[in-house]
Structures are given as structure tokens and as C-alpha cells.
Structure 1
Amino acid sequence: MIRKAALAAMAMLALTVPAAAQAPVFDGRALADQAIATARREAYRSGKVDWPALEAKVHAAAGQARDELDMLAVYAQLLEGLGDGHSFVQVPDDRRKAYLARHGREFDATAAHYPQTSAFIMRRDQAFQRLKLGPRAEATILVAPKVFGGGAGAKAYANGLYRALADAAPTSCGYVLDLRGNVGGNLWPMLTGLSPLLGDGFASGEEDASGARSVYANLKSGAAVIAAGPRPAPSARRPMGWPAPTPASSNPMAPTW
């Protein structure tokens, strides 16, 4: 009798102990579908993409993914399939290294690499040079290389261009802007640094896949001013107290050509 009671108590205890929580099953296809939906809505060339074929490739790759780290290659394949040459996956270095350690290759190793067409593609530093045009006239040559990222590097880039323009203004009748090797990157350090040449009102915006355009920022007094939209304010701004460069048209030494 005692044994039966003990067994009954153990059975009741087993019924009241909660089952161990099961880890959620990873669903790579669901993540792929979310990415595909976003790409179809946002991609500039969305109307030119063979979506059934691309979705089939992405779903097949997602079916092999074990976790979100493996999904990096899936996302890279999706963006490569857009065919715009300007869409890619950006992740912190530790995630890239983790994928490399697991698979022995970069997650975007199969992406197409376009040949470089400029001998100046490796230029990283700004340069400034005076160009004599006659006994009383000179111009300034400015080399504006590519720049990526924000923060202190973007500010230093913008400040360097602006300072060169400000310093050259009293004696320069014009400027030669050397953009060879500049493949782009962060637009705003370039624009704010060159704002004395562009003037107030230079606007930048976007055009979506439907052709609709929106202006979200413009230049004013050497700073990027957000006009509309959720974007954060650009990090590169002209330091207060710098002199405004004199326009070449008001320079008494400027020739009349």
C-alpha cells in the first residue's frame, strides 16, 4: 500500500513539472522571404529583376542555412541578383571573420568584381596645388579622393577641403577639381567640404523604383541641413569661425575670361 502511494505521488509530481522549453527551430526561408519583400519594394531596378528565378535561388540557399550567420551568404546572393552593382551586405568585422572561420571563405566571395578603370583608384589623400595662369593670376588644383564612413574621418575630410578653398580664395581666380579615382562613398563630407563652390541650395535626394523623387537635405552656409525624412543629420560640418571663401567673380585679380 505504501509503495502504491509513493508511485502515485511520483506520477503526480511528474505531471506538475513543466516540460523543458524547446529551442525555436531556425527558419531561414522566413528570413529570406522578409529580405526578398524588402528588396522588391526598395530596389531601384526592381522592375528589371527576374524575381521568380532569383527567389528560387535564394530559397534554395536559405534552406541550407543553419543560423543567421549562414544567412549572410543568402543575403549577399539576393543583393547580387539585383544587378545594380551597388547593393551589398555590410556587417561588423567580427561577423565577417566568424563566417570565414566556419566556411573557409568570405560570405560574398562569389560576388562579381568589376575591373578598375582608373590608375588613381588607390588615392586616399587630399592634395592641393597652385596653378600659375599668368603674372597676376593663378588657380588652385584640389584632389578630392573617395571617402567612406562617418565620424572623425568624415569631419577631417570635409574640413581639409574647406580649409584649402578658404586659404586659396584671396589669390585664386578659379579651381580645378580632380576627381580621378573617386568612386564615391560618403557623399556628405565631399559636399560640405566643397560647399564654397556649390553654394547654398545644392540639394540631394532620392529616386525610388517608381521614379518618384524626394529631396531630404541641402547645403546652407557650409553645412548639410536635413529638409525632410527620417535620416540622421550628416556628421561633417564646417567649423564655426572659418572665413567664407571669396567667390572668384569678386576677386580683383581674376581675369575676365
Structure 2
Amino acid sequence: MLSVAAGGLQADATDAWVLSGPGAMRDAQVGVDGVRVRVPHAGALSLPPVRVAAPDGGAVAFARLAVQGDAAGCVRLRFDAVDEAGQLLPAARVDGSCLPADGVVRPVALVAERPAGARELRPSLVVTGDAELRVQALRAAPARDARALLAEAVAAPLASLLDEVETRVRARMPAERAATGVDWPLVRARAWAAALGLGPRREEALPAVRAFMRALGDGHSGAAFVDPSGRFRDGAGEGLAQARPQAEILRQDGSAVLRLGLPPMLSLAGADAADYAGAIRAGLREAQRAGVCAVVLDLRGHTGGNMWPGLDGLAPLLGAGEVGAFRPGPPWVIGDEQARLVGAEAPAGVPAPAAWPVAVLIGPRTASSGEAVAIAFSGRGGSRFFGQRSRGLATSNAMIDMGEGLVLFLMTSRMVDRDGRAFPRGLQPDEAADDAAVLPAATAWLRSQGAPCSARAAPPG
């Protein structure tokens, strides 16, 4: 039972709340549904500080409350950090989102990572504007105690799922990283905080599962639902339609190049993979029949997904052999049969696609498997990169099937090119250019390569 006590509001000996702020907080009333506090201007309900020291990774604050008042105001949880000398670290402040002023009681949590040099984290519920709060719970704890702090507000099936996710991830993660590279209490705290207010069904749990995977800190791990056909599902449960690669022949000044635009490959379905690779090969066959032997490979919109259909379709350009690898992990090998472009009738003198010059367009949206495709051309003779630095997610994810369509993607290795080079910050173009200038720059370079079939590719006059 909450009660009014000297020095502020308190629920028990550990949950003392102190009222403070430039505007006087007044009209504190106690009822069976919590403490009602009127805030006429601004102020804060401050909790006792949470002492944090290694190996404590941070702290979590929890509130269950309703807010009514000025729509222009804001009520939110906050953490301030204090150093060993008792001084605030302003740059380390962490603010939660403003809560809706709709009078609905809801749970909310905020997680703060311990910044370097911090002795304690000070949680508070900060109010700006004119608001009335109905507070049923307000407390904080170190991140290692997040489960106990938040358990009452997380549906039991979701709690069990998060436990299973942690067990499966820790079992699949390389032992050294699992032992020393992850702050598991902080990861757990972020997942449980994201679970507040979610329903008990697995389909409703995705935000919390994604919060867990994101908190691993590698920038690439994640989670998704996949339908029985192998397509990733949208929020409504429908399989996402898979866009097809686009191929067109660009003619200018008596020469021609093939432009191949590759979209993300958001499917694990065999039929979608075959269609994706087939569209690329169809474009290559069309170019070869037309006497075109130069390619602009546009990966600026390739944000990720399944890398293998793209490599399969582009195999005739890449040629047989090793074109990249996972570290740790196996190499990416193009076989002799895979590298053949079956069904093309090339004019005399047109070389095989593996000898064609390729201008690769990349940018900040080129990510994950889009970067894998780009890496396959790194170190290939007759290839040059144009555009802007890629996203920097050139890592490989292992898939963990959680059942009922839920799949985890856990980063387990990095991608390297055929010369063993990794790209932790993304691929840097050989020639920087913005979106308006990148295609002219690429086609100009291709013309400068003096492709032997460029004249044949021009339409008859």
C-alpha cells in the first residue's frame, strides 16, 4: 500500500520518492489505485540512486501510471549519471519517450547503460507542463535485477519465450563472445523493458525479441517471422512480395551497357530464389545477344536478405572459383556449371561475361547481403566501385528456428573478399559520386575500358 510519508511519497523502505521541481507539486492523494499527484508547472519524482560499478552494466526504472493534463507537456522517465566526485555527467543523461496524456494506466520502463566513470545512476519521473499523475508503482534497480523488477508486467508466455531466446542464442554464439563480449544483464533488461504492454501471443512478441537481438550490439542480429513458403511476413502476417531484379540496356554515343538493378531478396523460398537468379541471367543473355559486354550493377537499393540468389544469378560475371568467404566459415565458390550462361547466342567476338567490365554502384542503403554481392566483385579484374560508402553490415547471420514461424538471425562471422579483406565500416567506392552523378561516372568508365563489342551494341543507323 502506498502512503504519504515525511520527505515525500513511499511504497516501502526501498521505494522512497522525493517531490522536487521549480513548480510546487501539490495535492498528493492516496487511494487504492495509487498516489495522485498534481503538477501545476514542472518537477520530478526522484527515486533513490542506483549504484553501478563493474560488472554492473546499467540500471532499469519501472513505472505504472496514468497521465492527464496539458497535451503540450511531457511526462517521462529519466536517468542522470553521477561520477565518483558526485558531479552530474550531462552528456550521459537518458530520457524515455513522453507518455500519452490520456488517463490510461500503463507500464513503462527505461534502461540506461552505465557510462564510463559513473558511480551511480539517478532515476526520476520528470514532468513538464500541467499534469496530473496517478502513480501505482515507481521503482528502479540494477540491470541484473530487471526480471524481478518487471516480471509482474510481462505476460507469462512472453517471459518464457524471452528465456528460450536467450538460451538458444547463448548456445549458438561462439563461446568466447558469449563469455566476454556480451553484457547479458543489460541485454535482458532491454528485452524485458520492450516486452511491457505486449500481448501473450508469439506474433505479438516480435518487438521484445528484436530488442533482445539488437541489444547484442553487433548491429546486425535480428528476428523476423517467415511464412510456410519461406517469405518474410509483414506486420499483418502476410508474406512480403519479392521484387525482381531489373535489367535494361542503356545506349549512348554509339555504345551500350547493361544496367542491372538488384532489390533486397526478402525470401528463403526456393521458387523466389530461382526467379530472382533467373531474372539476372535473363538480363545477361539479352545483353550478350545484343552484343553488349559491359555492366552497371546497381546495388544502392539492395538492403539485405538472402545473398545466394544474387550470387547465383551473377555467377557468369563472377566466373568460376572462390569469390569471397565467411570468417570464420566456408568460402563462396562458383562452380564451372554455375558460371556458364546457358541459352545465349553471342555475336562473334563477344567475350564470355566473366571478361566484361563491371561498374558496381553502392551507397548507404547497400547492406548485409547487398554488401555480400558487392564483396564478390571486390578483387575481380575489370571491376570498379562508384557511389558512396556502404552501410557496414558485411557480416553473416546464422538462423535459429524458434518454431511457429519465428526465426532469429544471429551474427556469427564476417564477410571477406577473395583476397581476404574484411569491411567492418563498409565498402568504400573507388570513385565517390552522389546519386545524380554516379551513373554518368560509371558509364564513362565503362566506355573508357574500350569493350570490344561496344560498337556492335549500337542500334543500326
- Give the TM-score category using the shorter length: 0.5 to 0.7
Partner residue in 2 for 1:179: 299
Structure 1 position 168, deviation (Å): 0.9
1:39 aligns with one of 163, 169, 172: 169
Structure 1 position 218, deviation (Å): 2.0
In the superposition, the TM-score normalised over structure 1's length comes to 0.54
- CA deviation vs aligned residue, 1:174-220 (integer Å, no higher than 9, x gap): 1111112111211111111111111112445433xxxxx11165221
Is 1:128 the counterpart of 2:262? The answer is: no
Of Structure 1 and Structure 2, which has the larger fraction of its residues in helix?
A: 1
1:31-180 aligned at under 5 Å gives the runs 31-43=161-173, 48-58=181-191, 69=202, 72-92=206-226, 124-132=243-251, 134-135=253-254, 137-149=255-267, 150-170=269-289, 171-180=291-300
- CA deviation vs aligned residue, 1:202-257 (integer Å, no higher than 9, x gap): 445433xxxxx111652214649xxxxxxxxxxxxx89x534874264875358xx
Counterparts in 2 of 1:60 and 1:190: CA distance versus 1, 3 Å: closer
Q: Which residue identity is paired with 1:36?
A: E
Structure 1 position 90, deviation (Å): 2.3
Structure 1 position 53, deviation (Å): 1.9
Counterparts in 2 of 1:167 and 1:68: CA distance versus 1, 3 Å: same
Q: Distance in 2 between matches of 1:61 and 1:140?
A: 47
Counterparts in 2 of 1:155 and 1:180: CA distance versus 1, 3 Å: same
Q: Which residue identity is paired with 1:75?
A: V
- CA deviation vs aligned residue, 1:84-131 (integer Å, no higher than 9, x gap): 34333223569xxxxxxxxxx99xxxxxxxxxxxxxxxx944332323
Q: Distance in 2 between matches of 1:214 and 1:43?
A: 14
Q: Distance in 2 between matches of 1:139 and 1:86?
A: 34
SS for the counterpart of 1:214 is coil
Q: Which residue identity is paired with 1:191?
A: L
In the superposition, the TM-score normalised over structure 2's length comes to 0.33
Unaligned 5+ segments in structure 1 are: 1-25, 95-104, 107-122, 208-212, 225-237
2:335 aligns with one of 220, 223, 241: 220
Structure 1 residues 157-166 or 54-63, which shifts more? Answer: 54-63
Partner residue in 2 for 1:247: 352
- CA deviation vs aligned residue, 1:35-65 (integer Å, no higher than 9, x gap): 2243245458755432222234546788999
Q: Distance in 2 between matches of 1:185 and 1:62?
A: 26
Q: Distance in 1 between matches of 2:338 and 2:168?
A: 32
Q: Distance in 2 between matches of 1:139 and 1:27?
A: 56
Counterparts in 2 of 1:36 and 1:128: CA distance versus 1, 3 Å: same
Q: Distance in 2 between matches of 1:165 and 1:65?
A: 48
Q: Distance in 1 between matches of 2:297 and 2:333?
A: 21
8 Å CA contact 2:247, 2:258 repeated in 1: yes
Residue correspondences, number: 184
Partner residue in 2 for 1:234: none
Q: Distance in 2 between matches of 1:89 and 1:68?
A: 16
Of Structure 1 and Structure 2, which has the larger fraction of its residues in strand?
A: 2
Q: Which has the higher contact order (CA 8 A, sep 6+)?
A: 1
Q: Which residue identity is paired with 1:38?
A: R
Counterparts in 2 of 1:216 and 1:29: CA distance versus 1, 3 Å: farther
8 Å CA contact 1:161, 1:194 repeated in 2: yes
Q: Distance in 1 between matches of 2:298 and 2:257?
A: 13
Q: Which residue identity is paired with 2:273?
A: A
Q: Distance in 2 between matches of 1:242 and 1:200?
A: 18
Q: CA RMSD in A?
A: 4.2
8 Å CA contact 1:32, 1:62 repeated in 2: no
Q: Distance in 2 between matches of 1:39 and 1:33?
A: 10
Q: Distance in 1 between matches of 2:207 and 2:272?
A: 30
SS for the counterpart of 2:259 is strand
8 Å CA contact 1:158, 1:193 repeated in 2: yes
Q: Distance in 2 between matches of 1:139 and 1:78?
A: 46
Q: Distance in 2 between matches of 1:126 and 1:28?
A: 39
Q: Distance in 2 between matches of 1:162 and 1:67?
A: 46
Percent sequence identity over aligned pairs? 29
Q: Distance in 2 between matches of 1:83 and 1:244?
A: 50
